[in-house]
Structure 1
C-alpha cells in the first residue's frame, strides 16, 4: 500500500509544547520554554512538509531503493528534475515499511533502484514454459522496441535444460544477424551489451487530483 500525507503544523507545535511541558510548574518556566521554542524552532520549519508511507515486500527485498519527490508533473520527462523536492527524512520503520518526508507539497513520487543496478537480463518467462526465456532487443539508437509491433525485436533464448546455462556465443551470433537493429558498425561486445541491457526499474505514484 502507498499513501501520501502532509504534516499538520499545529499538531507538531502541540507535540513540541507537550514535550517541553514536562516539569513545567511556574509562569517563568512557561516563558523560558516559549523563548527556547522561538529561538530553536519557530520560523525554521518548512511551510509545508509532505511525504508518503509505503508498505511493501519490495522495501525488504530492495532495501536500497531510491526516492524522488516532485511538486508537480510534466509531460516532458526531462522537465521533472526542475520540480524535484528536498528529502528531509527517509527511514525504514520496519523491514517492509518505508517513510519519507519532503520539504514542500509532493504531488508525484518516483521509487527506483540505484542507477548502478543497470544490468543485462531477460524477460520473465511464462509459467507454462519457465525455461524458455526471451529478450526485447534494443536498436542501435538505444530504443527498446514494442515486441507486439516489432516481432523482429524478440530473441528467443533457450538455455541448456541440464545446466540452465545460456550459450552466449550462439546468442551473440543470433543477434548479429538481425539487420533491423540498424547496427552499421561491426557487431562487437559493445553492440551486444547495448541490445541486452536492462534499465533500472522505476515506479511513479501521482497524487489523486493532481
Structure 2
C-alpha cells in the first residue's frame, strides 16, 4: 500500500508525515491502484480465496442436508484488507500512511464488490451500487446443489425488498455459498423452471396419487385460475390414480379417462368443477410446478 501511495505527490506526503499533520496527509493521499489490485481486494471482501476450513472449521458445523445462515464480520474483513495491503511497509512513517490508505482501500473494495458478479448476473437480478454492511448469506450442503444445476435462490430483507446477490458459488459438488447485500430475513430456494412437468406422487407397490388440485374455473374472490385449491398436507384426501394392470408387476401406465373422472368428481365436491372438463383442464390438474423451499429466519420453514 505504501508503494501505491508513494506514486502520488510523494514529497508532500512525507512532509506531512514528518510534521505529523494528519489532516493534510489525508487530503494529500490519493488512492487509485491498478485494476488487478482493485479486483483482488473486492473479491477478498466476498471471501474469495479464503480456505474453506477457515469458513467452516469443523464438518459438524455444516452436516449433510443442512443450511447455515451467517453474518460477515466487518472487523474481520477490515483486518484482512489491512493485511493484504501491508506489502511495502518499511518504517513507522509507512505505518502511519497505511492507517490512512487502508480505509480508502476498504471503501473502494466495498464499491467494487458489487461488481464482482459482472456478466454472471441473472436477468432481472437486483444490483447494488456498493456493498453495504451488514453482509449476510448462507451455506447450503445438500444433494439439491448437485442434483439441481440451475437451482434459483432469492433473498429478501425485513421490508420484503429483494436483496442483491454479491456472490453465488458452488464450493463443492454439494455445497453452495451465497452472500447478499443486506440482512437476509426471508429466502427461497427453487428448482429450475425446466422442472415444470406432469406428475403423480409414488406411494409404493406401483401405486401413485395426486396430492393437489388447481382451480380451473374463473377467478373467485382472491383465488386465481391455476392456483392450488387442495394442497398436500392440508388434510385433504389424495386421489388414487387408476393404473393399467400388468402381468404380476406395475406398468406405470395411467388410465387417463378414469383419472380425469376422479378429478372432475373431486372438483365437484369442492364446488370448483368447470362446466366442461376437457384435456386442457386435465393438463392443468396434472402440472407439477418446480419445488420450492421457503426459509423465514426466526420462523418455521415452509415447503411447497
Question: Do these two structures clear the TM 0.5 threshold for a shared fold by scoring above it?
Answer: yes
| SS of residue in 2 equivalent to 1:205 | strand
Structure 2 equivalent of residue 157 of structure 1: 242
**Is the contact between residue 60 and residue 95 of structure 1 (CA under 8 Å) also seen in structure 2?**
yes
**Is the contact between residue 157 and residue 183 of structure 2 (CA under 8 Å) also seen in structure 1?**
yes
- Would the alpha carbon gap of residues 45 and 184 (structure 1) be closer, same or farther in structure 2, given more than 3 Å must change? closer
Distance between the aligned counterparts of 1:53 and 1:150, measured in 2? 35
Structure 1 equivalent of residue 72 of structure 2: 7
* Alignment of structure 1 residues 111-190 onto 2, 5 Å: 111-126=189-204, 129=205, 131-136=206-211, 137-140=213-216, 141=225, 142-146=227-231, 149-151=235-237, 154-161=239-246, 163-176=251-264, 178=266, 179-180=268-269, 182-190=272-280
**Is the contact between residue 209 and residue 241 of structure 2 (CA under 8 Å) also seen in structure 1?**
yes
Structure 2 equivalent of residue 194 of structure 1: 284
Q: How far off its partner does 1:32 sit?
A: 6.7
Higher relative contact order (CA 8 A, sep 6+): 1
Give the root-mean-square deviation of aligned CA atoms. Answer: 3.1
- Would the alpha carbon gap of residues 209 and 200 (structure 1) be closer, same or farther in structure 2, given more than 3 Å must change? closer
Identify the match of residue 296 of structure 2 among 187, 206, 210: 206
- Would the alpha carbon gap of residues 169 and 89 (structure 1) be closer, same or farther in structure 2, given more than 3 Å must change? same
* Alignment of structure 1 residues 1-150 onto 2, 5 Å: 1-26=66-91, 27-28=93-94, 31=97, 34-35=100-101, 38=104, 40-41=108-109, 44-72=130-158, 82-126=160-204, 129=205, 131-136=206-211, 137-140=213-216, 141=225, 142-146=227-231, 149-150=235-236
> Could you list the per-position Cα deviations for residues 1-58 of structure 1 after superposition, in whole angstroms to 9, with x for gaps in the alignment?
2111101111101111111223432444873795475162367531210011111111
- Bigger Rg over Cα: 2
Q: How far off its partner does 1:160 sit?
A: 4.3
- TM-score by length of structure 1 reads 0.77
- TM-score by length of structure 2 reads 0.56
| SS of residue in 1 equivalent to 2:277 | coil
Higher helix share: 2
Distance between the aligned counterparts of 1:58 and 1:191, measured in 2? 31
Q: How far off its partner does 1:206 sit?
A: 2.7
Higher strand share: 1
Moved beyond 4 Å, runs of 4+: 146-150
| SS of residue in 2 equivalent to 1:157 | coil
- Would the alpha carbon gap of residues 30 and 157 (structure 1) be closer, same or farther in structure 2, given more than 3 Å must change? farther
**Is the contact between residue 132 and residue 159 of structure 1 (CA under 8 Å) also seen in structure 2?**
no
**Is the contact between residue 81 and residue 102 of structure 2 (CA under 8 Å) also seen in structure 1?**
no
Distance between the aligned counterparts of 2:181 and 2:81, measured in 1? 19
- Would the alpha carbon gap of residues 157 and 134 (structure 1) be closer, same or farther in structure 2, given more than 3 Å must change? farther
- Would the alpha carbon gap of residues 154 and 169 (structure 1) be closer, same or farther in structure 2, given more than 3 Å must change? closer
| SS of residue in 1 equivalent to 2:81 | helix
- Would the alpha carbon gap of residues 189 and 209 (structure 1) be closer, same or farther in structure 2, given more than 3 Å must change? closer
